[in-house]
């Protein structure tokens, strides 16, 4: 049981580290980074990965739904905050890519993890 709790704690820390890295990347002025090949693909992969982690952390379907709604809210908040960053702006297509990543990650969690 103790090993399970340690693993859950590690996964939770990894999840929040991932959120922090994504927030940093999305809320940094665009000119600080080289041109990205496909912004929407990066949104999709980032949120799919976070969703799969959430699927491993959640103890029930209800808890997983809460994690996923939180992810959607954070993604939307980050997107809205981009209006305050030089060279960045709000984009509905980024939110759509986030949602697609969350849906794909949730499907993978259900198939692979049986949640």
Sequence ranges of the domains in the chain: 2-29+38-113
What 3-state class would DSSP assign to 13? helix
CA-to-CA dists, residue 3 to 24, 50, 114, angstroms: 31, 22, 21
14-30 mean pLDDT: 93
For residues 86 and 72, what is the distance between their CA atoms, to the nearest angstrom?
24
Task: State yes or no: pLDDT of 38 exceeds 90.
Answer: no
| Per-residue H/E/C for 73-109 | HHHHHHHHHHHHCCCCCCCHHHHHHHHHHHHHHHHHH
49-77 mean pLDDT: 93
The mean pLDDT value of the chain amounts to 89
CA 15 to chain centre: 8
Share of the chain above pLDDT 90, in %: 64
pLDDT of residue 87: 86
How does pLDDT run across 4-20, given as a tens digit for each residue? 555 778 999 999 999 99
Name the DSSP class of 36. Answer: P
């Amino acid at each position: 049981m103790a090993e399970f709790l340690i693993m859950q704690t590690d996964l939770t820390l990894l999840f929040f580290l991932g959120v922090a890295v994504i927030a940093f990347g999305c809320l940094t002025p665009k000119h600080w980074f080289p041109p990205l090949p496909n912004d929407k693909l990066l949104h999709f992969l980032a949120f799919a990965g976070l969703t799969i982690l959430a699927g491993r952390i959640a103890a029930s379907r209800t808890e997983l739904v809460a994690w996923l709604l939180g992810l959607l809210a954070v993604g939307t908040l980050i997107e809205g905050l981009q209006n305050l960053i030089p060279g960045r702006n709000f984009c509905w297509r980024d939110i759509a890519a986030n949602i697609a990543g969350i849906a794909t990650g949730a499907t993978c969690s259900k198939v692979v993890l049986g949640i």
